Chains A and B, each alone.
Chain A
């Protein structure tokens, strides 16, 4: 899947990825690079200063990519200190691989009203 596809059809791409990942979330912890990559895209919406979707549930081992579709820069900051992006300018992206189950909250440090959650199963 090309970056363009992610951009053009973010949410669709997200659900598509989930569906196509019939392959069991084989091991995340082991980090076997041979396993097919599991990817999900979260858009940073241009409207209303929101992460879309604001809440996302994925399987352990999933790499989540945030794409900034806004004219304003945004960051992705885990309040538990798990990950922190640099400022993403328009169309820039940031990815993080969620290895362990849990609920991960994040926000944009430039616009801390923007909140999001990734639930890893």
Chain B
């Protein structure tokens, strides 16, 4: 049954201020409305916690294996901590989704090491999309030789799991001066075709590296041709769009579409427009774990709703 408190406008208003929450904010998507909840409140209500359902997948992002500058000299350790958090979940998630920047420099040794670290994750299977750091080798082949199989080396693909339709997209391979990501007409046509004939009640999860909405254009935090993608998605009752790239949580709800960017497991970046530009942000060592993290998504009332939780590495 529906949870009355979720549907209460006053409760929604009260919780609205948590939309950009840091540690311990739980996002519940019910009937297409994505509502942030305070984890402490959820914990105090055991019944509600039980209703949050089993973990569907965990989102990892921006692991940047190979990064060794002062913002985090040990990205292996923070990724390992993130994996430990996944591995102590009461129920192992069926999937892990990595939203890109697996490596820092697209070096073979970095990819190999990342895969070695990922092999410890206690989850059914892993799905990835590349970030611009993963496609920065001169031949753009290191990522695809390892992760290209699912997409026949195109990078974009879709699959179904537990009644949810997942769409993995690539927006880091075409470069527009100015810096916004690009999906390109071939990929957009493929999405249109992929969605054709699907019931509007199918929950959709779309993931790509760069934000599929304009977070901050002056820093290239967006995707130029994403509006076309949104036109295809609008008729669906529950759409969750997950991205990485900006190393911080930013969230927006537009109709039935919820946009969410994940934290990195490697290093934070400044908030949009703060300072000279994007890049590794140095924070005091004892605060680093508090600005890194992972997200998890659970099925609430299969197959119609999803719950998304963010947690830091603290």
Question: Which of A's residues lie within 8 Å of B, judged by CB?
Answer: 47-49, 71-73, 75, 77, 79, 84-87, 89, 107, 109-113, 115
Q: Which residue of B lies closest to A79 (CB)?
A: B175
Additional 5 contacts, C-beta under 8 A, given A47-B276, A112-B177, A112-B220:
A85-B138, A87-B133, A110-B136, A111-B220, A113-B177
Asked whether any CB of chain A lies closer than 8 Å to the CB of B179, the reply is yes
Known contacts A77-B175, A110-B132; decide if A71 and B280 are in contact (CB<8 Å).
Answer: yes
* In the complex, chain A residues whose CB is within 8 Å of the CB of B279: 71-72
Q: Which residue of B lies closest to A85 (CB)?
A: B138
Q: Are A109 and B135 in contact (CB under 8 A)?
A: yes
What's the Cα separation between A73 and B135 when bound, in Å? 12
Q: Are B280 and A107 in contact (CB under 8 A)?
A: no
* In the complex, chain A residues whose CB is within 8 Å of the CB of B135: 109
* In the complex, chain A residues whose CB is within 8 Å of the CB of B11: none
Q: Are B178 and A113 in contact (CB under 8 A)?
A: yes
Q: Which residue of B lies closest to A92 (CB)?
A: B105
* In the complex, chain B residues whose CB is within 8 Å of the CB of A75: 136
Q: Are A87 and B136 in contact (CB under 8 A)?
A: yes
Q: Which residue of A lies closest to B175 (CB)?
A: A112
What's the Cα separation between A97 and B104 when bound, in Å? 27
Asked whether any CB of chain A lies closer than 8 Å to the CB of B277, the reply is yes
What's the Cα separation between A109 and B101 when bound, in Å? 13
Taking the closest CB of chain A, its distance from the CB of B139, in whole angstroms, is 8
- A-B Cβ contacts below 8 A, count: 55
- The SS class assigned to the B binding surface is loop
Taking the closest CB of chain B, its distance from the CB of A67, in whole angstroms, is 16
Q: How many residues of B contact A (CB 8 A)?
A: 23
Taking the closest CB of chain A, its distance from the CB of B144, in whole angstroms, is 15
Q: Are B138 and A86 in contact (CB under 8 A)?
A: yes
Asked whether any CB of chain A lies closer than 8 Å to the CB of B193, the reply is no
Q: Which residue of A lies closest to B182 (CB)?
A: A112
* In the complex, chain A residues whose CB is within 8 Å of the CB of B84: none
Asked whether any CB of chain A lies closer than 8 Å to the CB of B69, the reply is yes
Q: Which of B105, B107, B135, B180 has the most CB of A within 10 A?
A: B105
What's the Cα separation between A71 and B277 when bound, in Å? 13
From B69, B176, B280, contact of A112 by CB (8 A):
B176
From B106, B107, B177, B219, contact of A107 by CB (8 A):
B177
Asked whether any CB of chain A lies closer than 8 Å to the CB of B125, the reply is no
* In the complex, chain B residues whose CB is within 8 Å of the CB of A111: 179, 220
* In the complex, chain B residues whose CB is within 8 Å of the CB of A109: 132, 135-136, 175
Q: Are A48 and B276 in contact (CB under 8 A)?
A: yes
From B138, B176, B180, B280, contact of A72 by CB (8 A):
B280
What are 27 pairs between A and B in contact, CB < 8 Å? A47-B276, A71-B69, A71-B279, A71-B280, A73-B105, A73-B136, A85-B138, A86-B106, A86-B137, A86-B138, A87-B106, A87-B107, A107-B175, A107-B177, A109-B132, A109-B136, A110-B132, A110-B133, A112-B175, A112-B176, A112-B177, A112-B178, A112-B180, A112-B220, A113-B219, A113-B220, A115-B177
